[in-house]
């Protein structure tokens, strides 16, 4: 297993605990603050944060491609959880988030529509087994250290289902993700779930520990999306369509081996790390062009579809009391722009 992969992921996920509390107050203030940002001539305010699939936008920003495409956008650089606070408070028109978090914001009052996919997690969330465990099947009747309610929990359930097991076949030990290296090293648990780089540390700390199941085996468990406020989408649909065009151009530029070094340089500068280091992080992320996204934006079950993935996340969120009532996933997804309509 490659060590430090995507550290930014830690933020994406760790934000979840804080969010539920902070969002609940936000809708109260929405009527006060909504509206100003939706004037037809105002720039579209989009929140983005430190995750390779979203930092990719920096390439388009620096190159001036949005201007070239004739759309006035203003990207606001946030800490991930702060970006969701800002969206929930109605201070920005759109935010780059995971599909699960789009549901969480909506479930707590700040509805959004996912109009575009940026990427999906590709191997950075890992269930680490200690030496001697060969697969998830070996965990039957054993203890697994996991932070209940977070992405690794979702990943474990997904893996167990694939291995034809039930969640009750293992005993969950609730442990902070950052502490899983110590939990695994202590020998009290047979496996632990963590994201990178914590997972890497866990494997280093317990000799012989190795990945049992990773998000690479469950592509689509978490999608990263552009979630737009319904009001703004309704009023400025043509402008949002232009954003998609620019994104397509950006993905092509980053994926092209000829231009990739230049793109990485821009992205690395934004994240504050050397370019050679940033390449590693980029590898852990599968960027999705509009054509790629079209295949995912089809309503069917399973993680291959944004619908299926979101329903899965919705069920998980309800079960773990992130919000109370199941969300109508269909109303959260508008594939029309991705489909070019």
Partner 1 sequence: MGGIASSTPTEAPRPPIADAFGMSPMRRKRRSWFGVPKPLGRRNALSLTILSFILPLLAWSAVSYVPFLWHPLIQVSDPGAVDYLQPGMRVDRETFATEVAAAKEAGTAPPQGIPSNPVYLPAPHEVAAAFWTAITTRPTFGDAIPLPQSLWHSIQIIFWGFTISSILGVPLGVFCGTSPVFARIVEPFIEFVRYMPAPAFGALMVAILGIYDGPKIAIIIIGTFFQQVLVIANTTRRVDGMLIEAALTLGARNLRLVRRVIVPAVLPQLYRDQRILLGWAWTYLIVAELIGTSSGITFFITQQARYQHFENVYAAILIIGIVGSATDIVLALIGRRLFPWAKEEA
Interacting residues toward partner 1 by CB under 8 A: 1-4, 7-8, 10-11, 21-23, 25-26, 28-30, 32-33, 49-50, 58, 61-62, 76-79, 81-82, 85-86, 88-92, 197, 203-205, 207-208, 210, 265-266, 269-273, 277
The encoded tokens of residue 274 equal 């050397």
Looking at the Cβ atoms of 142 and 210, the one nearer to partner 1 is 210
78 versus 316: smaller Cβ distance to partner 1: 78
Least separation in angstroms between CB 271 and partner 1: 7
Task: State the pairing for strand pair 94-98/44-48.
Answer: parallel
- Between strands 223-228 and 125-129, the pairing is unpaired
Beta carbons within 10 angstroms of residue 72's beta carbon: 13
Work out how close the CB of 291 gets to partner 1 at its nearest, in angstroms, rounded to a whole number.
27
Looking at the Cβ atoms of 88 and 245, the one nearer to partner 1 is: 88
| DSSP-derived pairing of the beta strands 125-129 and 285-287 | unpaired
Closest distance between partner 1 and the C-beta of residue 149, in Å? 20
> In angstroms, rounded to a whole number, what is the distance separating the alpha carbons of residues 18 and 3?
27
In whole angstroms, give the CA distance from residue 149 to residue 175.
11
> Smallest distance from the beta carbon of 273 to partner 1, in angstroms?
5
Which of 80, 223 has the CB closer to partner 1?
80
Q: Which is nearer to partner 1, 29 or 331 (CB)?
A: 29
Smallest separation, CB 288 to partner 1 (Å): 23
Distance of closest approach, residue 185 Cβ to partner 1, in angstroms? 9
Q: Are strands 210-214 and 113-121 parallel, antiparallel or unpaired?
A: unpaired
CA–CA dist 39, 83 (Å, integer): 21
Whole-angstrom Cα distance, residue 277 to residue 221?
Answer: 26
| Cβ partners under 8 Å of residue 79, min gap 6 | 11, 49, 50
Nearer to partner 1, 85 or 147 (CB): 85
290, 252 contact by CB (below 8 A): no
Q: Which is nearer to partner 1, 231 or 326 (CB)?
A: 231
For β-strands 113-121 and 171-174, DSSP reports them as: unpaired
- Least distance to partner 1 from the beta carbon of 26, Å? 5
φ and ψ at residue 126, rounded to 5 degrees: -135, 135
Smallest distance from partner 1 to CB 302, Å: 32
Determine the Cα–Cα distance for residues 95 and 86; give it in Å rounded to an integer: 9
Q: Among residues 206 and 306, whose Cβ is nearest to partner 1? A: 206
């Amino acid at each position: 297993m490659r060590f430090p992969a995507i550290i930014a992921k830690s933020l994406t996920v760790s934000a979840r605990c804080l969010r539920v509390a902070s969002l609940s107050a936000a809708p109260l203030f929405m009527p006060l603050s909504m509206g100003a940002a939706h004037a037809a001539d105002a720039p579209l305010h989009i929140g983005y944060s430190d995750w390779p699939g979203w930092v990719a936008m920096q390439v388009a920003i620096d190159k001036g491609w949005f201007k070239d495409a004739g759309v006035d956008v203003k990207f606001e650089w946030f800490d991930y959880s702060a970006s969701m606070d800002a969206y929930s408070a109605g201070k920005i028109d759109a935010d780059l988030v995971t599909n699960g978090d789009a549901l969480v914001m909506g479930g707590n009052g700040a509805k959004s529509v996912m109009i575009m996919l940026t990427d999906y997690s590709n191997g950075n969330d890992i269930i680490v087994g200690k030496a001697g465990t060969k697969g998830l099947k070996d965990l039957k009747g054993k203890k697994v250290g996991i932070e209940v309610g977070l992405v690794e929990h979702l990943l474990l359930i997904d893996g167990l289902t694939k291995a034809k097991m039930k969640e009750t076949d293992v005993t969950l030990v609730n442990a902070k993700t950052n502490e899983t290296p110590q939990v695994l090293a202590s020998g009290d648990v047979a496996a632990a779930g963590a994201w990178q780089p914590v997972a890497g540390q866990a494997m280093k700390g317990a000799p012989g520990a190795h990945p049992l199941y990773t998000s690479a085996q469950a592509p689509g468990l978490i999608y990263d999306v552009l979630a737009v406020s319904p009001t703004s989408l309704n009023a400025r649909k043509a402008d949002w369509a232009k954003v998609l065009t620019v994104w397509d151009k950006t993905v092509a530029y980053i994926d092209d081996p000829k231009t990739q070094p230049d793109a990485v340089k821009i992205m690395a500068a934004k994240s504050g790390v050397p370019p050679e280091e940033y390449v590693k992080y980029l590898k852990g992320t599968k960027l999705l062009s509009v054509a790629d996204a079209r295949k995912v934006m089809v309503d069917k079950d399973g993680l291959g579809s944004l619908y299926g993935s979101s329903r899965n996340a919705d069920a998980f969120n309800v079960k773990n009391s992130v919000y109370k009532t199941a969300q109508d996933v269909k109303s959260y997804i508008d594939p029309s722009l991705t489909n070019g309509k």
